[in-house]
Structure 1
Amino acid sequence: MNGCFGCWEEERIALLQYKASTINYTFEYHFTPWDLADKESDCCEWEKVKCDITTGRVIKLALNNTIYWNGESGGGWYFNASLFLPFEELQHLDLSYNYIFGWVPNEGFERFSSLSKLKVLYLDGNYFNNSILSSLSGIASLKELHLGDNNLNGEGFDRFSLLSKLEVLHLDVNNFNHSILQSLSGIMSLKELDLSNNNLNGTIHIKEFKAFSNLEELYLSNNKITDFVTTKDSNILTKLQHLDLSLNDFSARVLESLTAFPSLKILDLSYNNMVGSFTTKELSKLNNLEQLKLDNSSIDKSLLQKIGVMTSLKVLAVKDCGLNGNLPDLGWCELKKIQEIYLSGNNFEGRLPSCMANLTSLQVLDLSYNHFNGNIAQSPLSSLSSLVYLSFSDNKFLIPSTFSFLFNLSNLKILVGDNNILALETDSLTWIPTFQLKVFSILPTWIGNISSLEDIFMAKNHLEGPIPIELCKLVHLTFLDLSDNNLFGYIPSCFNSSSINFFQLNKNFLSGPIPSAFQNNSNLFALNLRDNLLTGNIPNWIGSLSSLRILLLKGNHLGDQIPVQLCLLQRLNILDLSYNKFSGPIPHCLSNITFDASTQDNSFGGLYSRETYSSSLSLYSTIIEALYYGIFMFDPSVNAEEEVQFATKSRTYTYKGYILEYMFGIDLSCNNLEGNIPLELGRINSSIRALNLSHNNLSGSIPVTFSNLKQIESLDLSYNNLKGKIPPQLTEMTSLAVFSVAHNNLSGATPDRKNQFITFDENSYEGNPLLCGPPLQNGCTRIRPPFTTPVDNDGEEGDSLMDMGVFYISFAVVYITVLLGIVAVLYINPYWRRAWFNLIEVCIDTCYCFVVIHYRKLFNFKSA
């Protein structure tokens, strides 16, 4: 194949050779579309591959995150550069986060010197050290090089002066100090330099950047820099437009030094201790600054009164800065070009100043998590007709239920306003909105008219009554959160949106059965109905939810047996059926659930992209992207992350966003389940983190197969009727943090005090009177040779109530002791000896008379 007929055969073969070289270090699903058997398969159509539409040559390979290493001996993957030499027109290669430890001898990156068109190379997140630098210096065509998150230090960069075309260099998350600036001084062409997350500390002088005359973007975040010293008329970094100094130790005086950068447009000083006040003179000199970010910094509250002199400012972010009092009506309201303002997480109070109506260019406004009050319909918000994103959640605003104050906001796409005071109004002034929202967090009666609405966030909004039937009109709905309200009645059966991904109605007073509205929904990721009053059983159609990752039904009145259809949910992360009335056995087929992060596709987080965010402090640009690509692709400020609570390690934790990809657990506690614990539960994928079967009526023994659960952190089997011994093999569960078998009928010795089991106290074993050994107070007194516990064909230990060998020996010892005691007493005391023999004689006479008399009566009866 070649040209317009598909990819070139030599490049197709090279890709398959690359796949073969990683076979021991990767998951097969990474390269599923790369078909070796189908010789007609066009590699230009394969995932991770992009070809030139004219020549058919491969120009981009995105092979990041394809290598897996479990940390075992033998090290990670070793790179072979010759595999990439057939790609003569390759321009972009991404090998980041692949656990690359090095390269095959004589097959390092020096071989890439023949790839004359290679411009972009990503090697972040590997295990390279400085030995890689000399080989990289031979790739003369490079314009962009990413070496972040490796094991590099400041030596060996001298030869990078040969990279005369290099414009972008990322060295973040390494071990550099100040000396790196001198080492890089030979790269005159640099326009972007990232040294964030390193060991730079103390004072940095502008003279150290003298060689970087073309630098436009500089990232120094997350170091320990205390000051940035500049000199007047230094004529250094005159082209610098973007400077990130966040997560350092700067004070407010740094602003005076930064006035030396005349072209500066974006400045990030967030997460610093900005002690001191900004002067109007300093602020006015930053006359080209467009974006100023000061989040999580202790700034002086007078800043908002002085900031009006920054006439070019378009973005202002002062989130979580400890600002308080009323918003001033001077200064910040004079920012005619301002497009985005972030004031969330402060202690502002009172009403919004009327001068806000002057901010006619404002497109994004975040007032959330403050103490603002007053009737929002009487605020200046209704005049801000350019608004695209508006958030005023978690305040004390009075919000009229008709939402008529939004009438003029024709551009509004995202509205977040939960946790305020909703005031009911009559609908006599009914109106149809002129906007089409994508995200909404408060619920008016006309919500069904917004046909494009995709996301609703209304948690903790004091909503009462049944779920509005108007929601059923939202056919594009993907995220619905009505949790923690006072809703009651049935869940509407008209919910038939096949696009819905996240459905949260937990912590309400909803009743009735689980509706069939979600049947066959292959897009549903999370169904959270916990802490309601639902009745009935889990419907059999639950198995049709092929994409379901989270199923939370805790704290309802659901009953009957747990359906085997749950076993069809092979991609499940979390299953919580606790505090219900389920009965019958635990389904053996639950082991079919994979509980494997490698099969997931990042559905819970993924909202944050460093590449998107670092290019701009602006949320507005990402909102526009989100409206084009979909809501789950953009900035986390919208909080479009799934958040669930799950009990593990004897506590209830909240899991949110990306962490849900790695949290796997089953909670069946506080039900009426009975029968043996299935052996198959011990054969569930070892990635499971929590298993809770406590407070049921389970019997039989603890399966030895539980020792296979190598990553389990919490195992609770307490308050059941389990018997037999605790399998000693459980000590192989080296990740255990919480273990409890309390209040059962277990017997024998506790497991050896080694690995994690040395950390468990007697509370883990209490309520089992026949258990002995540490940490319990009753020791196992009899010492005998160790023996192997008999195991039946199913792998279970014998389940007898007690050790019969111990019983027989104990009985014999007691019997002999009592007999010898009686003989000793009779031997020593003549009086008791005579009394004893007299008693024996009386008993013999009595028995003799009884037998003779009754024998005669019986004989006479038969004779008659």
Structure 2
Amino acid sequence: MGYILCINLFLHYCFMATFAMTAKNITTDQSALFQFKAHITSDPYGVLAYNWSISNPICSWVGISCGARHERVTALNLSFMDLGGNISPHLGNLSFLVNLDLSYNNFHGHLPNELGQLRRLRVFSVGNNRISGGIPGFIGLLSKLQNLQLEFNNFSGTIPDALYNVTTLEALWSYDNKIQGSISPKIAKLTRLKIFDMANNFLSGSIPWSSIYNSSSLQTFYLDGNSLSGSLPDDLCNCLPKLEWLFLHLNRLFGQLPRSLGNRSEANIYSFARNKFTGLIPQNIGNSSKITGLAFSGNNLEGDIPQGIGKLKNLRILSIAYNNLAGKIPEELGNLQNLQSLHLSFNSLSGVIPVSIFNVSTIINISLVGNNLSGYLPSTIGQGVPNLKILFIGLNELTGTIPTSITNASKLTLLDLDRNSFYGLVPNTFGNLKYLKLLNLGSNNFTTESPSAKWSFLSSLTNCRKLKILLLNQNPLYGVIPLSIGNLSANLEEFDASNCKIRGSIPTEVGNLHSLITLDLSENDLNGFIPTSMGNLRNLQGFNKFNSSIPPSLWTLQYILQETFPPPLGAFKLLKLYLWQIIDLKVPSPTHLGH
């Protein structure tokens, strides 16, 4: 009997001790969270104010998760709550915490060192706040940490060596901060690393590739937008067999592109734009069968565009503009039936534009500006590109008339044919492009039906209700500006018809274009009066100098041009009206102004 009694007493003691410990620990967690709440200075949705109270069980509080075994707080997730204030050091008392997510709030100040007590922590996310100071050394004490998110804050200083001691780390996001210094070779300790993103900081020095090779599971490597220098090893992709995303653009890297780029069949995007790379694009790049994006723009690459790029069936973005590439645009690019953006501008490419690229139904953006392309536009140019929104082919040596089929690309928004040798009539069918915002036909040889005819194409453009910029300058259009100019889009901000050999007068209807900022009718053969209706153009900027007075209706325009005018105009705000060098243009007399 005595033995049984002793056993019962012992079990009772153990139960009471366990109960007391549990109660004490719950109280500890509750106290830590109330202290955290006390540091909150902004809670616009009242999440903590109304929910976090003694009357509610702690494990039912918003953002709180508890473990079933110990009934301790294991997760604190208050992301996207717009909370403001400092992060309380008392959070370091949540000793069972595994997941801490305070991202997308307005926390500021430094991270308290007490957070280094959270030895069970695996996820630590404070991205998208206003936290400052250095990346704290206590991170090195979080021996189970797998995911560290510090992005979009104001962290400064260098990467602490302690960070490299977290050998369990799999993902580090710390982009868009102010971190400087170099990446230490100690990064070799992070053998489990899969994601490393320190883009848009102030890192400098060379990338310690031989150390990074220890992270053989690395999939995502983002260091774009820094000041890193040095070259890329030729075997880079061979030594990182799982690499899918490699973003190194906007740095100071130089040398040749690694030949191993074509050895990664699992690669997704290579982005090396705006560095100082030289040499050729690797010919084997076409072997990266799953790649969706190649961004090599803004370097000093030379040679031809490899025909093998045409084998990249999943490619969506091909951007190799602003280089020294020569030769022809490969016909094989027409095989890229998932391509959305083709950016080859400002190279030395020659020959005709392949018909095949206008048969890629997924294409949205074609930019070929500033090359030596010649020949005619394909007669079926708009028929196979139903999703085309941007077509930039200016600054080339193209010729011929504009095929009317171009308006079959009904989603066209920006169309630039500037500085070529196109001729013939401006198609009346441009009016079918209801999404058109920019039409640049400048510096070509377009004409109208006869030297005295009104521009019929301008009437068709009145159907383009989203049109903001219309550039017709330096074409021998002749003819007369029709009254329908006043029916152009209410959104029109720029109209340039300078040096077009226009005759007649400026229609009064131009005063209907209330959004107009720039109007350039210079170097034409206009005559008559400046319409008083132009006084309605409140956004117009600038004005031409005349020997006689300016119509009073224009005196009230809003922006001062820093020039000296005879009284009373010296006190008025005059706008840029780009009517420079207009011949025989007269100013209305007071009679015409109704005085």
Distance 1:746 1:682 in 2: 27
Q: Given that residues 725 and 749 in structure 1 are in contact (C-alpha distance below 8 angstroms), is that contact kept between their aligned partners in structure 2? A: no
Deviation per CA, 1:747-797, whole angstroms, max 9, x where unpaired? 973534225375325885664687788xxxxxx9x8669539xxxxxxxxx
Q: Given that residues 235 and 259 in structure 2 are in contact (C-alpha distance below 8 angstroms), is that contact kept between their aligned partners in structure 1? A: no
Deviation per CA, 1:577-627, whole angstroms, max 9, x where unpaired? 12222222631333343334xxxxxxxxxxxxxxxxxxxxxxxxxxxxxxx
Counterpart residue number, 1:423: 279
Counterpart residue number, 2:260: 405
Distance 1:397 1:699 in 2: 55
Counterpart residue number, 1:594: 464
Counterpart residue number, 2:502: 698
Q: Secondary structure at the match of 2:435?
A: coil
Counterpart residue number, 1:527: 391
The letter of the residue matching 1:218 is S
CA 355–236 in structure 1, closer or farther in 2 if over 3 Å, else same? closer
Counterpart residue number, 1:550: 414
The one of 378, 399, 404 equivalent to 2:234 is 378
Q: TM-score, normalised by structure 1?
A: 0.52
Q: Note the 1:247-262 alignment, pairs <5 A.
A: 249-250=108-109, 253-259=110-116
1:290 aligns to 2:150 (yes or no): no
Distance 2:577 2:181 in 1: 51
Deviation per CA, 1:171-210, whole angstroms, max 9, x where unpaired? xxxxx963758785222556359xxxxxxxxxxxxxxxxx
Q: Given that residues 526 and 584 in structure 2 are in contact (C-alpha distance below 8 angstroms), is that contact kept between their aligned partners in structure 1? A: no
Distance 1:425 1:720 in 2: 48
The letter of the residue matching 2:218 is L
Counterpart residue number, 2:367: 504
Q: Secondary structure at the match of 1:358?
A: coil
Q: Secondary structure at the match of 1:412?
A: coil
1:689 aligns to 2:493 (yes or no): yes
Deviation per CA, 1:726-762, whole angstroms, max 9, x where unpaired? 222233333x14255679x999735342253753258
Deviation per CA, 1:291-336, whole angstroms, max 9, x where unpaired? 3224563522243x33123344333234454555653210x33223
- Aligned-pair Cα RMSD in Å: 3.8
Counterpart residue number, 2:62: 191
Aligned-residue offset at 1:374: 5.2
The letter of the residue matching 1:510 is L
Counterpart residue number, 1:465: 327
Counterpart residue number, 1:573: 437
Distance 1:411 1:300 in 2: 35
1:390 aligns to 2:246 (yes or no): yes
Aligned-residue offset at 1:671: 2.2
The letter of the residue matching 2:458 is H
Q: Secondary structure at the match of 2:290?
A: coil
Q: Given that residues 727 and 751 in structure 1 are in contact (C-alpha distance below 8 angstroms), is that contact kept between their aligned partners in structure 2? A: no
Deviation per CA, 1:691-748, whole angstroms, max 9, x where unpaired? 22223222222222223323333333233222222222233333x14255679x9997
Distance 2:583 2:99 in 1: 74
Aligned-residue offset at 1:290: 0.7
Distance 1:473 1:592 in 2: 37
Q: Given that residues 240 and 263 in structure 1 are in contact (C-alpha distance below 8 angstroms), is that contact kept between their aligned partners in structure 2? A: yes
CA 192–701 in structure 1, closer or farther in 2 if over 3 Å, else same? farther
The one of 70, 77, 80 equivalent to 1:216 is 77
Q: Note the 1:538-687 alignment, pairs <5 A.
A: 538-584=402-448, 586=455, 587-596=457-466, 664-687=468-491
Distance 2:585 2:381 in 1: 48
Q: Note the 1:309-324 alignment, pairs <5 A.
A: 309-319=165-175, 321=177
1:342 aligns to 2:197 (yes or no): yes
Aligned-residue offset at 1:373: 5.2
Q: Given that residues 289 and 311 in structure 2 are in contact (C-alpha distance below 8 angstroms), is that contact kept between their aligned partners in structure 1? A: no
Distance 2:544 2:141 in 1: 68
Deviation per CA, 1:486-535, whole angstroms, max 9, x where unpaired? 22222122322222121111122222222346331222111111222222
CA 192–533 in structure 1, closer or farther in 2 if over 3 Å, else same? farther
- The alignment of Structure 1 onto Structure 2 pairs a total of residues equal to 509
Counterpart residue number, 1:243: 102
The letter of the residue matching 1:564 is N
The letter of the residue matching 2:366 is F
Aligned-residue offset at 1:539: 1.8
Q: TM-score, normalised by structure 2?
A: 0.74
The one of 515, 518, 530 equivalent to 2:378 is 515
1:749 aligns to 2:556 (yes or no): no
Q: Given that residues 364 and 388 in structure 1 are in contact (C-alpha distance below 8 angstroms), is that contact kept between their aligned partners in structure 2? A: yes
Q: Note the 1:201-212 alignment, pairs <5 A.
A: none
Q: Given that residues 242 and 264 in structure 1 are in contact (C-alpha distance below 8 angstroms), is that contact kept between their aligned partners in structure 2? A: no
Distance 1:213 1:675 in 2: 78
Q: Note the 1:734-773 alignment, pairs <5 A.
A: 734=538, 736-740=539-543, 749=551, 751-756=553-558, 759-760=573-574, 767=581
Aligned-residue offset at 1:238: 5.4
Identity of aligned residues (%): 22
Q: Secondary structure at the match of 2:477?
A: strand
Q: Given that residues 430 and 460 in structure 2 are in contact (C-alpha distance below 8 angstroms), is that contact kept between their aligned partners in structure 1? A: yes
Higher relative contact order (CA 8 A, sep 6+): 2
User: Where does structure 2 lack aligned partners over 5 or more consecutive residues?
Assistant: 1-39, 53-59, 65-72, 297-304, 449-453, 560-571
Deviation per CA, 1:541-585, whole angstroms, max 9, x where unpaired? 212211111101122222222121222222212111122222226
Q: Secondary structure at the match of 1:231?
A: helix
The letter of the residue matching 2:157 is D
Distance 1:327 1:704 in 2: 66
Q: Given that residues 416 and 457 in structure 1 are in contact (C-alpha distance below 8 angstroms), is that contact kept between their aligned partners in structure 2? A: no
The one of 65, 90, 93 equivalent to 1:231 is 90
Counterpart residue number, 1:274: 132
CA 518–724 in structure 1, closer or farther in 2 if over 3 Å, else same? same
Distance 2:471 2:242 in 1: 48
Q: Given that residues 171 and 193 in structure 2 are in contact (C-alpha distance below 8 angstroms), is that contact kept between their aligned partners in structure 1? A: yes
Distance 2:492 2:577 in 1: 24
Counterpart residue number, 1:475: 337
CA 392–266 in structure 1, closer or farther in 2 if over 3 Å, else same? same
CA 763–552 in structure 1, closer or farther in 2 if over 3 Å, else same? closer
Distance 2:351 2:237 in 1: 35
Q: Given that residues 44 and 82 in structure 2 are in contact (C-alpha distance below 8 angstroms), is that contact kept between their aligned partners in structure 1? A: no
Q: Secondary structure at the match of 2:492?
A: coil
Distance 1:766 1:265 in 2: 64
The letter of the residue matching 2:295 is S
Q: Given that residues 453 and 474 in structure 1 are in contact (C-alpha distance below 8 angstroms), is that contact kept between their aligned partners in structure 2? A: yes
Distance 2:333 2:537 in 1: 47
Distance 1:222 1:695 in 2: 59
Q: Given that residues 244 and 267 in structure 2 are in contact (C-alpha distance below 8 angstroms), is that contact kept between their aligned partners in structure 1? A: yes
Aligned-residue offset at 1:354: 0.1
The letter of the residue matching 1:534 is L
The letter of the residue matching 1:459 is A
Q: Secondary structure at the match of 1:567?
A: helix
CA 245–183 in structure 1, closer or farther in 2 if over 3 Å, else same? closer
Distance 1:421 1:785 in 2: 65
Q: Given that residues 746 and 771 in structure 1 are in contact (C-alpha distance below 8 angstroms), is that contact kept between their aligned partners in structure 2? A: no
Aligned-residue offset at 1:341: 1.6
The letter of the residue matching 1:440 is L
Counterpart residue number, 2:163: 307
Q: Given that residues 423 and 445 in structure 2 are in contact (C-alpha distance below 8 angstroms), is that contact kept between their aligned partners in structure 1? A: yes
Distance 1:213 1:384 in 2: 35
